[in-house]
Amino acid sequence: MNKYDEKKLKAADKAGSAFALISGVFLCISTVFMFLNMVTRTVADVNIRFVYELCGLCAAGVASFAIPYATLKSAHSTMDIITSHLKPRARAALEAVSGLVTIVVMSFTVYILSTYAYQRTLVLETTTTSKLPTYMFRWVYALGMLLTTAAVIVETVDRFRTAAGKDVAAALEESGDSGKPDGGDGGETV
């Protein structure tokens, strides 16, 4: 395995751990407040006023970091009926071109989300019922899309490298998740 692949896998592992942790924090906050709301409604017939809005915002936070995590770990599934019969290098070339199109679309989406988050920050946007600040979560959406775009860029670079005939270390989930970067079979590459 070359230095680029070693660094890529190490960075993907650290980033994936961070994304999973951040998603877990958002999920934990949502779960705790939903549980507290159930307890207060059962015991004292009192509804925590902001709980549903907070849980919705936290769900967006979970998705914003779970999607780049899944992209980094190649935990997404693909339907490649059209290209499945092609040789690996030809398939990688088509996937690389497809990745470029995806990067352009996602970059535009990041720009739109960032612009919208900035506009909502200027007016200090809040939820209508409880006045929770939503503008912060607009930035979380934009950051999640930016991180996903970065993961797609790394994946697209790997597809170009594969199309050029280079050996490329696959993500652990993609290569069988045996704990070894090469999938445990002595040299599987994408």
Residues of the domain holding 106? 3-163
The string of pLDDT tens digits covering residues 124-170 is: 988 877 788 888 888 988 998 998 898 889 888 888 888 888 877 76
Q: Is residue 62 part of a domain?
A: yes
Q: Is residue 53 part of a domain?
A: yes
Cα–Cα distance between 57 and 158 in angstroms, integer?
34
Q: How many domains are there within the chain?
A: 1
Cα–Cα distance between 39 and 141 in angstroms, integer?
31
Q: Is residue 171 part of a domain?
A: no
Q: Is residue 169 part of a domain?
A: no
Q: Is residue 189 part of a domain?
A: no
Q: Is residue 188 part of a domain?
A: no
Cα–Cα distance between 87 and 46 in angstroms, integer?
63
What are the DSSP calls for 60-87, one per residue?
HHHHHHHHHHHHHTT------TTTTTS-
pTM of the predicted structure, to 2 decimals = 0.69
pLDDT in tens, the chain (190 residues): 778 878 888 888 888 888 888 888 999 999 999 999 999 988 888 888 888 888 888 888 888 888 888 777 765 556 566 666 778 788 888 888 888 998 999 999 999 999 999 999 999 988 877 788 888 888 988 998 998 898 889 888 888 888 888 877 765 444 444 444 444 444 444 4
Q: Is residue 67 part of a domain?
A: yes
Contacts 24+ apart (CB under 8 A), 179-183: 181/1, 181/5, 181/9, 182/1
Question: The tokens of 133 are what?
Answer: 């600040």
156-to-31, 33, 98, 134, 139 alpha-carbon distances in Å = 36, 40, 8, 33, 25
Q: Is residue 170 part of a domain?
A: no
